[in-house]
Structure 1
């Protein structure tokens, strides 16, 4: 299993597509879409040095949160590893001061465990030590 990064232009901005893939079995395990927000963002939560996770998904059969099944991909840490890489890119490459996540009500506790807090409709984490390349 390997982490794959693809950068591309979309809707007038740059996005990064991160995924964990198993090339031997031709399987997509999980994905994350990251975008650096424009200074002209409509939402106040997304203004001023913000990146946003537009999508995070780990594929596979549903596994109860309280259990782990090594033959399944969910609850094996792939989502957390994708988020950690997104935070690194947002901080080091985008120079973002915070990372926002589009999150449904049912997934907010997942993000809280990683240090995110509710800000408007988004879960947000302040990134310290942001640098611009």
Structure 2
């Protein structure tokens, strides 16, 4: 069953919202609230931007370690229903363009085309390999 929000929102508007929401939301979220929670629990004082950078560092380090153990682009996938079937509500039965999405995501994260964090990305975040 389709949600009322997607059912009654014009498709072009919904598409633009989904495309740009992450960039806009990141700028609107006050990460100092989360760093305040962190300080309350740990006693360590960090700024909102330091909190966000720590999250990036954790994510990239985890990805680097997984890649070292053999994880690669082939493992970054979605269920077949997203890749082959298409939505019944969609007249064109479009599927998720996963390869294009992965290319863009890897570029934004600072990974190479196989999904491995680049040396520059690791250095920028202070991760020594």
TM > 0.5 between the two?
no
Bigger-Rg structure (1/2): 2
More strand by share: 1
